[in-house]
Amino acid sequence: MEHCRLHYMDLVSLSSESALTQTLQTSREAQTDHVWTSLRYLAGRWLWVSGNNKGEYQAWSHGETPQCSDRGRHCGALSLEGQHWESRDCVDKLSFVCY
């Protein structure tokens, strides 16, 4: 997130199917399985830290919103292969997409 903010951007928010599709297309040639998004688990719910929290679009793995009280997985990443969101430990080393 620091890299994005240094360049006056933020991590990507995937709050719509079109945003997800665009990010998958942008990341197609990346040599990675996952990329960080701005999705965070804060105050008992998942939020886009960019503030773009309108709408009901969700793309979680298995169609279920993860409960994050266990395993400390409070950050959201996009699985490029599975084309869905996953909860991850915030210290994982992943690529990222700024917008």
Transcribe 24-63 into DSSP letters: HHHTTT-S-SEEEEEEEEETTEEEETTS---S----BGGG
Average pLDDT, the chain: 84
Q: Could you give the domains of the chain? A: 1-22+34-52+71-99 (3.10.100.10)
User: 87 or 44: whose pLDDT is higher?
Assistant: 87
**Above 70 in pLDDT, residue 44?**
yes
Q: How confident is the model at residue 97 (pLDDT cuts 50, 70, 90)?
A: confident
**Above 60 in pLDDT, residue 1?**
no
Q: Which residues contact 60 (CB under 8 A, 6 or more apart)?
A: 66, 84, 85, 86
pTM, 2 dp: 0.83
Q: What is the pLDDT of residues 75-85, one digit of tens each?
A: 999 999 999 99
